[in-house]
Amino acid sequence: MGTVKVKDSFREYLSKHNLKATRQREIILDEFLSSPSHLSAEELYLRLRRNNPNIGYATVYRTMKLLAESGIASERHFGDRQTRYEPNISEEHHYHLICNACGKIIEFEDPQIEALFVKTAGMHNFTLSHQRLELYGLCPDCQPS
């Protein structure tokens, strides 16, 4: 789904919840969509300040929470204590392969894995909403030779 559609769906979410489409929310969403994935709210705030020195810290936090609630972004926790955000670009669920040494993050998808998740949830009579999978190890560059 393209940027325009995402922006429309955010506006729709806002009006459906009697929230307002403000200039700041638009700017933050734009910056989020044009930034690398897995940024923290803090990092996004720093990026925003470059072109919008007037945007507040708390507003970035609040807007990121909104984006998560509206399904546009997902909150993620990796090793550290910060919450990071990634855009829900596609309908596909994707997973992460993370290098213990250099921190490199590789995203991947796997329908076979996903099928097993659905099956497992079903066995426990759970309705599945979302899932997190992280595989940790050493990437080719960081392996002792």
Closest separation between CB of residue 2 and DNA, Å? Answer: 22
**Cβ distance 65 to 19 under 8 Å?**
no
Closest separation between CB of residue 115 and its own copies, Å? Answer: 10
CA distance 130 to 94: 11
- How wide is the angle at C-alpha 128 spanned by C-alphas 127 and 131, nearest 5°? 160
Q: Is 13 exposed, middle or buried (0-12, 13-18, 19+ CB in 10 A)?
A: middle
Q: Among 103, 108, 106, 107, which residue's Cα sits nearest to residue 142?
A: 103
Interface positions, 18-47, toward DNA (CB under 7 A): 18-25, 40-42
Q: Phi/psi of residue 34, each to 5°?
A: -100, 15
**Residue 49 binds which of its own copies, DNA, none (CB < 5-8 A, kind-dependent):** none
* Among residues 6, 55, 67, 72, the one that binds DNA under rule CB under 7 A: 55
Q: Among 25, 126, 133, which residue's Cα sits nearest to residue 70?
A: 25
Closest separation between CB of residue 5 and DNA, Å? Answer: 18
Q: Is 14 in the site for DNA (CB under 7 A)?
A: yes
Q: Is 134 in the site for its own copies (CB under 8 A)?
A: yes
Q: Is 143 in the site for its own copies (CB under 8 A)?
A: yes
Nearer Cβ to its own copies (58/135): 135
**What residues line the site for DNA (CB under 7 A)?**
14-15, 18-25, 40-42, 54-59, 61-63, 65, 81-83
